[in-house]
Amino acid sequence: MMKSFFIGNLEVKLPIVQGGMGVGVSLSGLASAVANEGGVGVISCAGLGLIHKGHGDFLQNCIWGLQEELRIAREKTTGIIGVNIMVALSNFADMARTAIAEKADIIFAGAGLPLDLPLYKTADSETKLVPIVSSARAAKVICEKWYLNYNYLPDAIVVEGPKAGGHLGFKKDQIFNESFSLEEILPGVIEIANSYKEIKQIPVIAAGGISTGSDISRLINLGVSGVQMGSIFVTTYECDAADAFKQAYISAKKEDIQIINSPVGMPGRAINSAFMERVCAGLETPKNCPVHCIKTCDYTKSPYCIIRALYNAYKGDMQKGYTFAGANAYLAKKISSVKEIVSILKAEFNVANA
């Protein structure tokens, strides 16, 4: 049977963290469903200001939207609810402060190094802080900076390999290089976490391309406490994206999943589409910046507006948007419930451990 693990004083009964997926793919609906199964449900902050409109400008809408999603999630579950905040977001600090003020259980922070994340903690805050890294070097830098500047260490570390969906913390020539595979980078991150064990227990969570219970078993045997899974939960009834978004996964073939350039400044993995073909042809160049969602984005040099594209896809307009996806997203064959997905993963895990 899968064993629980702790992130601080939080017991994760099902050792699965649902990956944070924006824009709008993982909101309160998906997050609460995963939390109800004993895992960690995660709400993505990316683009909340477009989904929750009418409360001011985009940045004010983002704050209200996060408050609302956390409120709805709490009405649906008593389980663990986390928040994913991209470091690259222009409102990273506001989102971190809001998550802490609203008593989110965990903040997961990636797409950049969250070197100042502990700065936003308050004296009475119990929100756990979990960076997402792609190398032992990044884990080491974060641990050293946090401990030196804030006398704080991560409550867990997610290490994301190059088979993940969305933005990747690797150069293009590293993504398919086995030297940078999840299995190769894991030991170094585990070593960094273990070097602080006399001060704090820091569980390591593996992410990127994990799609079966057998994968979970294999990675736990390599020394991680749990795994993060995103793509597998997209094709569920509870996923917050439109049916057309989910259908893009079901229809995808292995060769449709490609590495793309993102305005965030990182390579990304997504499902090829008519929209992405227009991007490659230079037909989606933005004429303005609607909300300045990303710190690093210069719309005059960007091949497309990422927040518009992802928001359109979330609503189901696949002609004007695209779907981020993990390397194994093409394995999806039908829409299932979160409960059914978890049941299959448990059965596969048990077979692998028989």
Residue-wise DSSP of 239-264: -SS-HHHHHHHHH--GGGEEEEE-TT
Q: Give the pLDDT confidence of 226-239 residue by residue, as tens digits.
A: 999 999 999 999 99
Residue ranges per structural domain of the chain: 5-242+333-352, 243-315
The CATH superfamily assigned to 5-242+333-352 is: Aldolase class I (3.20.20.70)
Torsion of CA 159, 163, 168, 170, to 10 degrees: 80
The answer for residues whose C-beta is within 8 angstroms of residue 75's C-beta and 6 or more apart is none
Whole-Å CA distances, 79 to 40, 82, 326:
7, 10, 26
Query: What is the rounded CA–CA span in Å between residue 104 and residue 128?
Result: 8
The pLDDT confidence band at residue 266, using thresholds 50, 70 and 90, is: confident
Does the pLDDT of residue 293 top 90, yes or no?
no
Chain segment 17-64, per-residue pLDDT in tens:
999 998 999 999 999 999 999 999 999 999 999 999 877 888 899 999
Higher pLDDT, residue 15 or 56: 15
162-171 pLDDT tens trace: 999 998 999 9
Looking at residue 21, what is its pLDDT?
Answer: 96
Confidence at 6, pLDDT banded by 50, 70, 90: very high
What does pTM read for this prediction?
Answer: 0.95
DSSP state of 119: G
63 against 292, higher pLDDT: 63
pLDDT at 56: 81
